[in-house]
Amino acid sequence: MTINCNGYLLDLSVPKIAGILNITPDSFYDGGNYVSEDAIKIKTKELIEEGADIIDIGAFSSRPGAKLISELQEKKRLQSALEIVRKYFPNIILSVDTYRSEIARFVIKEFDVSIINDISGGNFDDKMFETIAEFQVPYIVMHMQGNPGTMQKKPQYNDVVKDLLKFFSKKTESAKKYGINDLIIDPGFGFGKTPEHNYRLLNKLDLFNIFERPILVGLSRKSMIYKLNDETPDDALPGTLALSMIALQKGTNILRVHDVKETLQVISVFKKLISS
């Protein structure tokens, strides 16, 4: 199980870490922390040195209730940050969060971005699949009910697991029709889902291996963890690590996290466990 990142085959048979670099002013956990050149450089260096295989950059907040920013604003934020990252770390594998095909085209062409991470799974821009097929970059297709502004307003499913299996069945078929080689599945924990939906999905995550596609999971410091004990994202690292181990046991290939060093320890323990 490999994905082609600008000619480099990234082996996902061993779990990998995508370290989060938020360049937004309003993300739920570390918004506004990484705006200046020094801050972006230092954070990226820290993520790499702690063991991140991928740096995942987001220029807009997708927290519940967040408002969508303009394409121009997103492009300016990304250009500024990517110029800094590529200046100091020219060879690192980069993933960019965007649901806009023109932004995807821009970052791939101008900054050799290897992976596009789309929270809408192609639902917000009908040219996204076409663009991904043109450049043949790995594409993370995430499930979200609604949009960030509405997604947590009483999300409902007939059966959350069956509904997502149907969603990804359609997306994998679309990817085949477009000739997209590297499709990565993300169930979208916390995106249009209640805590009960999230935990049921995690319990049944192994069912998504039926698609024979890599699975990415983003659980890091989310409200499904910290609200259990009436805490904040700052308190959610232990719960994040616990759920990360469960996700690995269910077949997850990529963990998208804020805390790389601690997650690497989880992966080391997991590898020892399955080899014993």
Report the C-alpha gap between 136 and 130 in whole angstroms: 10
Residue environment code for 165-184, b if the CB has 16+ CB neighbours within 10 A, otherwise e: eebbeebbeebeebebebbb
Which of 43, 77, 213, 222 is catalytic? The answer is 222
In the numeric block, which tokens belong to residue 265?
A: 């320890």
Report the C-alpha gap between 218 and 189 in whole angstroms: 7
Helices (H), 51-148: 71-88, 101-111, 128-135
Closest to 57 in 3D by CA, of 8, 110, 88, 93:
93
Which of 75, 105, 221, 256 is catalytic? The answer is 256
Is 256 a known active-site residue?
yes
CA–CA distances in Å: residue 12 to residues 3, 75, 95, 96, 252? 8, 30, 15, 19, 9
Report the C-alpha gap between 216 and 198 in whole angstroms: 14
Is 222 a known active-site residue?
yes
* N-terminal to C-terminal alpha carbon distance within the chain: 22
**Structure-derived torsion over alpha carbons of residues 118, 24, 69, 127, reported in degrees to the nearest 10:** -20
Report the C-alpha gap between 180 and 174 in whole angstroms: 9
Report the C-alpha gap between 152 and 181 in whole angstroms: 32
In the numeric block, which tokens belong to residue 33?
A: 């922390």
The CB density around residue 267, as the number of other CB atoms within 10 Å, is: 18
- Active site residues per annotation: 222, 256
